[in-house]
Amino acid sequence: MAVSLEPVVKVSDHLKDLLNKAIAREIQVSIQYMWQHVQVMGVKAVAVQDKFKSTAIAEMKHAEKIAERLWYLGGGPTTKPAVIDVEKTLKEFLEFDTKAEVEAIEMYREIIDLANKEKDVTTAFIFKEILEDEEEHHDLFTTMLEEV
């Protein structure tokens, strides 16, 4: 019996491109938050340092999760981050981080919609879980912004 080695789930190149853009931005924010964790200074740093670290780790796990999915779908995950904005002050950190999270939320909604249209339920499910994290990060950064 000949068994097909083709992927069971076939998706458009457009969806694969979006997954790669998502990976690029997950790598970006993972480095961005890690460097902010290292560079944050002053009295307020004590309160926020660990948050940058734990969020950076969460973003790295997202990158890995999306890369695994893209690989399964027959795509090659990028190794290049999107533009990293570390900036100087804590307020600037948080403004750029909030912007990054808004971009993620918008992009991941688009991916969920497209994945559903293409009947790729698993990708939609993975991104729903990731989206929940990004909304938490957005809430975290905007809350922190109120205090700086």
- C-alpha to C-alpha distance for 64 and 135, rounded to whole angstroms: 19
Task: Output phi, psi for 8, to 5 deg.
Answer: -70, -40
Matching residue, tokens 């019996």: 1
Which runs of consecutive H residues, i.e. helices, occur in the chain?
Answer: 13-39, 45-72, 90-117, 121-147
What is the separation of C-alpha 66 from the centre of its chain, rounded to a whole number of angstroms?
Answer: 9
| Cβ proximity to Fe ion, 2 vs 134, nearer residue | 134
- Does the protein bind Fe ion through residue 137 (CB under 5 A)? yes
| Cβ proximity to Fe ion, 62 vs 69, nearer residue | 62
**Smallest separation (angstroms) from Fe ion to the CB of 43:** 26
Number of residues counted as binding Fe ion (CB under 5 A): 5
- C-alpha to C-alpha distance for 27 and 2, rounded to whole angstroms: 40
Candidate list 23, 111, 112, 134; residue touching Fe ion; CB under 5 A: 134
Candidate list 23, 52, 59, 90; residue touching Fe ion; CB under 5 A: 59
Residues 8-37 that bind Fe ion (CB under 5 A): 26
Footprint of Fe ion on this chain (CB under 5 A)?
26, 59, 62, 134, 137
